[in-house]
Amino acid sequence: MTETTGYSGGGFVHVKNPHLDSMEEDILYHLDLGTKTHNLPAMFGDIKFVCVGGSPNRMRAFAQFMQRELGLAGAGEELPDICAGSDRYAMYRAGPVLSISHGMGIPSISIMLHELIKLLHHAKCRDVTIIRIGTSGGLGIEAGSVVITDTAVDSSFQPRFEQVVLGDVVVRSTELDKDLAEELLACSREIADFPTLIGHTMCTYDFYEGQGRLDGALCSFSSEKKLEYLRRAYDAGVRNIEMESTAFAALCGLCGLKAAVVCVALLDRLQGDQIRASHEVLWEYQQRPQRLIAAFIRQRLGLG
């Protein structure tokens, strides 16, 4: 069974679940928010940009950075974690920007996205752009390069996300917004003190064997087989590897959200498996997608 991409009538988030309408209350359990306990339209109705990334600390730092970049009052002060009542995810806002952590891997980001998308729906948000800013392993590209994903592919290099629903495999498209990717690339040219490119992103269910690493607790293949697989991925257009993009693209696409994935490469997987760069270098690499997205948001808001 294949599902097609959603549309968003009037720019609203398009939740595809007929059961939601008949629910008296919707508890967004992992976000510690709900339709009866919180006034979601008042709290979130003016959100226009949602940025998601794996680590809670990084997403707090991003919100603080956006606070400064947008010249908002209170810049430099601590930001409250909107999801403080749950220790699963962290959420911060800076003006029209919402910054949320999603943890590692597809199951973790899926849970967050179901609740985030319902949150945007309940809050009656319109014309929301959602961007995953993350880290990845590069493929044939210099460490520190930023990859803007045109298509998220699975570990067979196919643009699909398979979700098991009631025991059946449902196949979902992983197409992302091409115009948004081009807009981001154009934006990168203005701040480019680091290489930025558009390419396919391969999404896996594991960091070690699933990404062809030789350094996990288990490994059943040779170095030659690993390189043969990674070169096949490169020839299929893959330029980086991470663990959330297919689920992110599928869920956001079906719900009519314009979505992009922007990840920095921490290493070139054709050169090795271990991440050896110093904390300082890695910290600076992780700033790169944030700086690009800040420039993009500033430009969209007419501040650029």
Residue 203 · residue 238 · CB < 8 Å: no
Q: Which tokens belong to 46?
A: 């003016």
Candidate segments 27-35, 77-85, 130-138, 214-222, binder of ligand URA by CB under 6 A: 130-138
Contact track, ligand URA, 236-265, x by CB under 6 A = -----xxx----------------------
Q: In the stretch 190-229, what mask flags binding to ligand URA with x, by CB under 6 A?
A: -----------------x---x------------------
Figure out which of the listed residues 35, 99, 110, 135 binds ligand URA, where binding follows CB under 6 A.
135
Assess 290 for contact with ligand R2B (CB under 6 A).
no
Residue 208 interaction partner, one of ligand URA, ligand R2B, none, beta carbon < 5-8 Å per kind? none
Among 95, 96, 137, 289, binds ligand URA (CB under 6 A): 137
Nearer to ligand R2B by Cβ, of 154 and 183: the residue is 154
Of 32, 115, 177, 244, which one interacts with ligand R2B (CB under 6 A)?
244
* Cα–Cα distance measured from residue 198 to residue 186, given in angstroms and rounded to the nearest whole number: 11
Q: Is 236 within 8 Å of 154 (Cβ atoms)? A: no
Report whether 100 contacts 89 (CB < 8 A). Answer: yes
Distance of alpha carbon 181 from alpha carbon 258, whole angstroms: 10
Site of interaction with ligand R2B (CB under 6 A): 54, 104, 134-136, 207, 242-244
Site of interaction with ligand URA (CB under 6 A): 135-137, 207, 211, 241-243, 266
